[in-house]
Amino acid sequence: MSATKLIVVLAAALVLLPAAVWAATPGATRLEGRLPDNAAVVSIDQTRGTVLDALSAIARQTGYTLVVTAPESATSRPLVLQVSKRPAGEVLDLVLEAGALRASFADGVLRVRSDAGVAGDSWRERRRERRGRHGSERVRFGESITVGADETLDKAVAIGGSVTIAGHVRRDAVAIGGSVTLLPGARVEGDAVAIGGTVSVPDGATLEGDNVSLGGPIPTMAGSAAGWVAGGRPRLRGMFGFAARATRAILLYVVALVVAVAFPAALARTRQYLIERPGLSALGGLAIVLGFVPLCVLLAVTIIGIPLIPVAAMLLAALLVFGFTVSASWLGDRLPVGGDEKTPMKTVALGGVLLAVVGLIPWLGTTVLILAAAISAGAALLSRFGRRPAVVTV
């Protein structure tokens, strides 16, 4: 080999060698700067956690200050990591690689940012993250919402989930089938509304609007149904407990008696409509039950409609209670007890006792009560509470 060829080969090797080394060690390029030679060894046993959890564990064991500016879409990725007494730099490379992140180290501060060159961090994720930081509407179906301490949103709505706020919401925070929780330092300029849950505002949190929460059997049932329709898990365990069923039975029975005393004429006319038009009444009840969740969703995505959600829930509760009373009256009139002349009060008392006992049966009892109340509520709505008589062709 001539001297000229040898020089060309050596020059090419010198040019390609750094690239080959870089390609062989991709993780090394994720850290800018160098960790101290006396960096502590790290042990992590993380079977359930995220990339951010692993970074926090590294910072905690090494004593470094951790600053993360990467988007939540990258740091919240699930990560299973089990290492024992390994160098901090080696473990850090593994975590950065798993989260598609980059880091720099200087003066005891470890700064972690996103890797703009990674395809997984799509432009849609970056755009959604920017919008979330500077104020947008966040609506989730079948899952909960968490507003971080550094986030500012215009509105937060969870259908079938809860809303937890540590940052700033300029307008309303709404949870259907869940609770609204403000953490210390949080600020909500509008209303906080929870249907089927509670609104929690501790010391240090600011709620400038109204605090509206609707619990109890009917709103909780509606909220759980919203969560089920939206894809979440219905929260029905507490509602189907024996104590809750017994309390519900007693409450419905007492309210039904009050309705029978206050509105005997409307009760009798609605019962007659139910007898003459049972099929139409059942369709009306089905429309009421199935239409409530879409109505709440429609109201939740509008500014004006959010304050109307509690009103809609209370109207549904009143309609179902009246329907329960009508069903109790119809059932009590057909029981072979109580004599020939039965007053509206007596029929409701007899039928209400039977429905209350059936309502104590786990799962089945609640289903029977919902069907009985819904069908009669359909009759009440279609007949305008007895003002419109049923038209029967002979």
Residues 370, 210: Cα–Cα separation, whole Å? 31
Cα radius of gyration (the chain)? 32
Six-digit token string for 308: 């109307």
Q: Which residue ranges does the chain devote to CATH 3.55.50.30?
A: 27-134
Report the half-sphere exposure of 254 (CA within 13 A, side-chain side): 5
Report the half-sphere exposure of 140 (CA within 13 A, side-chain side): 20
pLDDT recorded at residue 186: 92
Read off the pTM: 0.47
pLDDT recorded at residue 27: 40
* pLDDT, averaged in runs of 10, over the chain (394 residues): 46 46 47 79 86 89 87 79 87 86 87 66 46 63 84 84 90 85 92 84 90 62 47 45 75 87 88 90 89 78 69 84 91 78 82 87 83 90 75 45
Topology (CATH) of 27-134: Phage tail protein beta-alpha-beta fold (3.55.50)
pLDDT recorded at residue 301: 66
pLDDT recorded at residue 393: 44
**Residues 126 and 109 sit within 8 Å (Cβ to Cβ):** no
DSSP 267-324: HHHHHHHHHH-HHHHHHHHHHHHHHHHHHHHHHHTSTTTTTHHHHHHHHHHHHHHHHH
Closest CA to 71 of 27, 31, 115, 109: 115
**Residues 291 and 386 sit within 8 Å (Cβ to Cβ):** no
pLDDT recorded at residue 264: 87
**Residues 350 and 339 sit within 8 Å (Cβ to Cβ):** no
Task: Measure the N-to-C terminal CA separation of the chain; round to a whole number of Å.
Answer: 115
DSSP 16-61: HHHHHHHHH-GGGGGEES---TTPPEEEEEESS-BHHHHHHHHHHH
